[in-house]
Copies of this chain bind each other. A is one copy, B any other.
Amino acid sequence: MTHSTIRRVAELAGVSIATVSRTLAHPDKVTEATREKVLDAVRQTGFVPNRQAVDFRRRATNNVVLLVRDITNPFYLEIYRGIEELAFANGYSVLMGDAQYDDARVARYIDMVRNRQADGLILMTGWIPASIPEAKLPQTVIALELIDGSVLPTVAIDNRKAARLATEHLLSLGHRRIAHITGPIGMLMSDERHEGYLEALRAADIAPDPALTYLGDYHLGSGQAAIRAFEERRVGFTGLFCSNDEMAVGAINALRGLGKRVPQDVSVVGFDDMDYALSSDPPLTSVRQPRREIGRKAMQMMVDLLAGKPLASRWFEAGVELVVRQSTAPPNPSKTTDLPRTESTKP
């Protein structure tokens, strides 16, 4: 059974194709009687408008390209959900693009909206190729992965404020020697989180000790490496703030390997509140980003943009929240900043 066209419906209903089109698009602009006739014919033929034709005629696709830095980043999962939800609710579809740190890929996905395969672009890459000036981008919304110096509509969190929140939690528990494992420095997001950590210390009249900062890369291994490095250099601390949960888990494992207990010997705070946070032992105190909300908001901005609505603001800040679990506690008064005795649990 081949698709029936609007023409067939018109014939069957005894009206013109224009009337069929109208009945479907603006049912109120048509007589009760004709509406019945048309709808009846539609039912009989099983007619469904050919979206390709409709879109072609309307010069719109109702597709939006979602271009991410790395499609396999589990952090994005809830954002995917938020974006898809709002897209679905508004009749849009989401085209998945994986940038993979590759300019050519980014360019091709951007071209897809230029070529009218999609109406807009949600960018979660953190960069655009130097060869593509921002002004030449199509309708674009930036989510989460900030692009330095961009003036495009953006939804994200205040990383600096969030890092302060985490550090202040440790401070309020009484910790004074607080270490920090950063993300790759040079990335706006990592820099901001480090700044927030420093700000919190200074606000508490603690002079930041550079020895307490370890340059990580957001991966498990650098969390472990950080602990080993601190140990080798005999750097003592009772609090540890990690710029993401994965490094926090790596750090906790390494601490355990050295016979240190969390939180009795070291309190650990993560960032992102991923599944990691719940499944780690002990469950991790972490900064939660409203990931689904970020996705929803980004898509909402896109919908408004495409509808020609003026944006209330070109910058939307999503709020964060500190989720306190069992990885943080007041410092153990008996052992100040020294390294606890080594006492491996391994055989």
Contacts and interface: CB of A to CB of B under 8 A. Distances in A.
Contacts of A253: 279, 281
Contact of A281 (B48, B50, B78, B256): B256
A117 B84 contact: no
A105 interface: yes
A250 B279 contact: yes
Contacts of A61: 52
B264 A347 contact: yes
B63 A71 contact: no
A56 B53 contact: yes
Contacts of A53: 56
A97 B81 CA distance: 9
A199 interface: no
A127 interface: no
Contacts of A74: 74, 77, 275
B97 A95 contact: no
A112 B48 CA distance: 11
Contact of A52 (B72, B98, B116): B116
Contact of A279 (B249, B256, B264): B249
A74 B88 CA distance: 21
Contacts of A49: 115
Nearest to A245: B279
A38 interface: no
Contacts of A80: 71-72, 96, 98
Given A220-B279, A246-B279, A279-B250, A78 B88 contact: no
Contacts of A93: 95-96, 112, 117
A74 to B, nearest CB: 5
B84 A71 contact: yes
Contact of A78 (B72, B96, B111, B246): B72
A89 to B, nearest CB: 11
A101 interface: no
Nearest to A223: B279
B116 A50 contact: yes
Interface string A105-123: 1001001101111000000
B50 A52 contact: no
Most buried by B among A56, A59, A85, A97: A56
Interface of A: 48-53, 55-56, 59, 61, 63, 66, 71-74, 77-78, 80-81, 84-85, 88, 93-98, 105, 108, 111-112, 114-117, 220, 246, 249-250, 252-253, 256, 261, 264, 275-276, 278-279, 281, 345, 347
Given A52-B52, A84-B98, A88-B108, 15 more contacts: A48-B115, A52-B55, A52-B59, A72-B77, A72-B78, A74-B275, A80-B96, A84-B96, A88-B105, A95-B95, A220-B279, A246-B275, A253-B281, A261-B345, A264-B347
25 contacts: A48-B115, A51-B115, A51-B116, A52-B52, A52-B59, A52-B117, A53-B56, A71-B80, A72-B77, A74-B74, A80-B96, A81-B98, A84-B96, A85-B98, A88-B105, A88-B108, A93-B95, A93-B112, A93-B117, A94-B95, A220-B279, A246-B279, A249-B279, A256-B281, A261-B345
